[in-house]
Amino acid sequence: MSEYEKKERFLQRILALEDMKDSHFNVMTKEKFEKFAMDVEDAKFDEKKTPLQYSRLKRFNIIEVCGIKKLVTNTEPVKYFLPAEEIYDIIDAAHISIGHGGRDRLKNETAKKYANVTKEMINIYLSMCEVCQRKKSKKRRGLVSKPILHSEMNSRCQVDLIDMQSQEDRGHKFIMVYQDHLTKFVILRPLTSKRATEVAYQLMDIFLTFGAPCILHSDNGREFVNSVIKELTSYWPELKLVTGKPRHSQSQGSVERANQDVEKMLASWMEDNKTTNWSNGLKFVQFMKNRAFHSGIKQSPYKAMFGMEPKVGLTTSNLPMEIISGLHNEEDLQVAITEMDQNFDDNEENLDKQEKIETKKTGKEQEENKEQEENKEQEEIFEHNSNESMILEAREKAHLNLVKQAKRMKTASDQSHPPLNVEDNVTIPIPDVDKGKADLRNLIGVVLEVTCEQLYRIGTKSGILEKLYCRSEFDGCKEKFIRPDEVPNKTVTLRTAAKNAAIGTGQGYARCVCSTGCKNNKCLCKKKGLLCNSKCHNSLSCMNK
C-alpha cells in the first residue's frame, strides 16, 4: 500500500466518523472547515450576536499568524483545529517523532498542539502502519478447534507425566496422571522412570479396576502412546486401544490444568505434613482432587464417577462434630443415630399437627392428598435409591456441562483468533534466533489458501512460506499491506523471508558451549567474529570477551 493510498484510505475512514455525535467538530472536510472558520470569525466581530454565536465563541477562536488565519481553542494553552485532509500528515509526523509509539503516547504527543485528533483517528492510523504491525506482540490466547466430546465414561482417557526429578523421593522421579475425559476423575501413581514398560504396568492396574478406555491420549506424543499400548497388549492380548489426536486441544488443556492442581495440592500436603516424601501424599492428593468441585462438569469428579459425594467416615455424616469426637464403638454410634432420628421424627410430627390445624380441607381430600404424597415419596425413594440411575444422571449432567464449556471456549477462541479469508493480511512472529535485537518481531504475509482442515498457506514479499499455519500461529491485520499478486511464485522458509525483510543481517544471537576457554575458531562466536555473551558456555572462563 503506497503512502497516497494510505492517506486516501485514512480520509475515507475518518469521514465515516462525521455522523457520530461526539465527532461533530472533530471531523470536517476542508470546505466545511473553512466555512465554519469564517462563521466563527464573523461571530467574533458581530456586534449583535446570536445564541449559536455565543456558544461557538466559548469554544473556538480565530488567530492570524503571518497572514494565515487559524481556528484555535478559546482556552489556554491554545491548540489548533485541523481539517480532515491534514490530520494524517500530523499524526504521521508525530508517530515517527516518538519512535512508532502506541496509541496513548501518540495521543499525548498530538494533544500538545492539536485539539481534534481523537483516539479513534489514532487507532485507524496505527492499523495502517506496517512497522507497528510488524513490531506488536502476538496474542497469547491459544486456539480452540472443534472439541471432541464424549457422553460415556472410559470413552477417552488421558495419561501425562509430571517431572519430579529435581525432588527425587526414594527412587521415584515422575508422577503419572491418569484422567477420564468425561468425569475428570484422576488417578495418580509414582514412577521411577518414564519408560513405556513402567507406565504400561501402572495403567494395567487401573484398567483392571475401572476398565480400559477406547482412546488413550498423551501430550508426550503418539510414539510414546504407541509404545505404551504395545506393552499393554503384551500383558493383556485381548485389549485393543487406539491413540488420540496428538494435539487434541480440550483434553490437553484439561490434563494440563489437572497437573497444575496436583502440583499445588502436593506442595500444600508436604508443607502441612512437614515432609519431602511426596510419593506418600499422592493418594491423599488424588482424593482431594476428586472430591473438589470441578467448574467444567459443575460437580466433583467423584460424584460424576460413582453417582454420590465421597464419604470420609463419620465426618461426612449429619452428626455434629462434638458428638463424633465422643464415639468409640458401634454401640455409641447406634445410640447417637437413634437419638438423632427421634428428634427428626418429633419435629416432623409437630409440623404435621400444625399443618392439620391450619388446613381447612375435608377428611376425604386429606386422605386423597396423603395417598398421592405417599405414592410420590415411594417413587422418589425408588428413583434415588437406584445407584445406577444416580450414576447415569451425574454423568449426563457432566456431559451437558462439558458441552456448554466447549461452546464458551470455542466462542472465546473465535473472538480472539477469528477465521480469515484469502487476501487477508497477517503478522507472523519471527523466532528470536532469526532476528537481530533491532529487527522487527513480525513478518507481514497474505493468505493465499485456506484448506479444508482450516490451515492457511501464507505468502510474503519473498515468496510462499513452506509450512501451513493454523490460526493460533499468526494475528490478522485490519489493513492490507501486500496483495497475493505481489507474492513471488517460489517457496521459502520463514528464516529466509525474515532475513529478506530485516533491516540488518536478519540473524539473532549466537552462543557457544565451549569448555576450553574459546581460544580458537572451534568456538562458534570466535569463528563469526563475535564476543561471547552471558548466554555462552554457562559463564565459564573465556578468552573471547
Q: Are residues 281 and 163 in the same domain?
A: yes
What is the tally of helices (H) and strands (E) in the chain?
A: 18, 13
CA 68 to centroid of chain Cα atoms:
55
Identify whether 513 is part of a domain.
no
**pLDDT tens-digit series, residues 353-372:** 555 555 544 555 556 555 66
At 248, the pLDDT band (50, 70, 90 cuts) reads very low
Q: Are residues 120 and 51 in the same domain?
A: yes
Identify whether 420 is part of a domain.
no
Mean pLDDT along residues 384-405: 74
Q: Are residues 174 and 123 in the same domain?
A: no
One-character DSSP codes across 285-346: HHHHHHHS-BTTTTB-HHHHHHSS----GGGGSSS-HHHHTT--SHHHHHHHHHHHHHHHHH
At 459, the pLDDT band (50, 70, 90 cuts) reads very high
CA distance 266 to 272: 10
pLDDT of res. 141: 53
Q: Are residues 102 and 164 in the same domain?
A: no
Any idea what the CATH number is for the domain that residue 25 is in? Answer: 1.10.340.70
Residue 516: half-sphere exposure toward Cβ, Cα within 13 Å: 7
Q: 313: how many CB neighbours lie within 10 A of its CB? A: 7
CA distance 169 to 388: 41
CA distance 436 to 448: 28
Closest to 468 measured CA to CA, from 482, 447, 486, 489: 447
Is the pLDDT reported for residue 50 higher than 60?
Answer: yes
Residue 62 pairs with which residues in a beta bridge? 71
C-alpha grid cell, residue 320: 455434629
CA distance 233 to 227: 10
Closest to 195 measured CA to CA, from 219, 161, 171: 161
Structural domain ending residue among the three candidates 267, 292, 317:
292
Residues in the chain: 545
Domain ranges, residue 455: 425-501
Q: Which of 145-154, 312-321, 429-438: highest mean pLDDT?
A: 429-438
What is residue 158's three-state secondary structure? Answer: strand
pLDDT of res. 172: 92
Q: Are residues 164 and 112 in the same domain?
A: no
**pLDDT tens-digit series, residues 435-452:** 776 678 888 999 999 988
Considering only 408-412, 441-445, 470-474, 540-544, which range has the smallest mean pLDDT?
408-412
Is the pLDDT reported for residue 346 higher than 80?
Answer: no
Q: Are residues 434 and 479 in the same domain?
A: yes
**pLDDT tens-digit series, residues 298-337:** 888 888 888 888 887 777 666 666 677 778 788 888 887 7
C-alpha gyration radius of the chain: 36
CA distance 378 to 205: 41
Q: Are residues 222 and 267 in the same domain?
A: yes
**pLDDT tens-digit series, residues 15-38:** 887 666 555 667 888 888 888 888
Q: Are residues 93 and 52 in the same domain?
A: yes
Q: Are residues 110 and 186 in the same domain?
A: no
Is the pLDDT reported for residue 247 higher than 50?
Answer: no
**Residue where the block lists cell 492510523:** 125
CA distance 8 to 443: 25
Contact 426, 446 (CB under 8 A): yes
One-character DSSP codes across 467-508: S-B-GGG-EE-SS-S--GGGS-SSEE-HHHHHHHH-SS----
Is the pLDDT reported for residue 381 higher than 50?
Answer: no
Identify whether 410 is part of a domain.
no
Identify whether 529 is part of a domain.
no
Structural domains in the chain (count): 3
pLDDT of res. 465: 93
Q: Which long-range contacts (CB under 8 A, 24 or more apart) does 341-347 make?
A: none
pLDDT of res. 191: 93
Identify whether 166 is part of a domain.
yes
Closest to 408 measured CA to CA, from 253, 217, 215: 253
Contact 282, 190 (CB under 8 A): yes
Considering only 141-150, 153-162, 395-404, which range has the smallest mean pLDDT?
141-150
Is the pLDDT reported for residue 457 higher than 90?
Answer: yes
At 508, the pLDDT band (50, 70, 90 cuts) reads low
Contact 198, 229 (CB under 8 A): no
Identify whether 223 is part of a domain.
yes
Contact 100, 136 (CB under 8 A): no
pLDDT of res. 487: 93
DSSP state of 364: H
Q: What is the mean pLDDT of the chain?
A: 79
Q: Are residues 165 and 111 in the same domain?
A: no
DSSP state of 452: T
Name, in order, each residue with C-beta under 8 angstroms of 39's C-beta and a sequence gap of 6 or more.
56
Any idea what the CATH number is for the domain that residue 232 is in? Answer: 3.30.420.10
CA distance 179 to 157: 6
Mean pLDDT along residues 104-113: 86
C-alpha grid cell, residue 312: 470420609
Mapping DSSP onto H, E and C, the string for 88-138 reads HHHHHHHHHHCCCCCHHHHHHHHCCCECCCCHHHHHHHHHHCHHHHHHCCC
Name, in order, each residue with C-beta under 8 angstroms of 500's C-beta and a sequence gap of 6 or more.
461, 462, 506
One-character DSSP codes across 173-206: -EEEEEEETTT--EEEEEES---HHHHHHHHHHH
CA distance 430 to 133: 13
C-alpha grid cell, residue 380: 422418589
DSSP state of 172: B
% of the chain exceeding 90 in pLDDT: 10
Q: Are residues 235 and 188 in the same domain?
A: yes
**Span between the terminal Cα atoms of the chain, in Å:** 45
CA distance 390 to 306: 8
Identify whether 12 is part of a domain.
yes
**pLDDT tens-digit series, residues 198-233:** 989 999 999 998 888 888 877 666 667 888 888 888
The more confidently predicted of residues 252 and 119 is 119
Closest to 412 measured CA to CA, from 147, 146, 139, 144: 144
Q: Are residues 201 and 265 in the same domain?
A: yes
Identify whether 63 is part of a domain.
yes
Using alpha carbons only, give the angle 363, 369, 371 rounded to the nearest 5 degrees: 105
CA distance 286 to 204: 18
Beta 215-217 vs 242-243: how paired, if at all? parallel
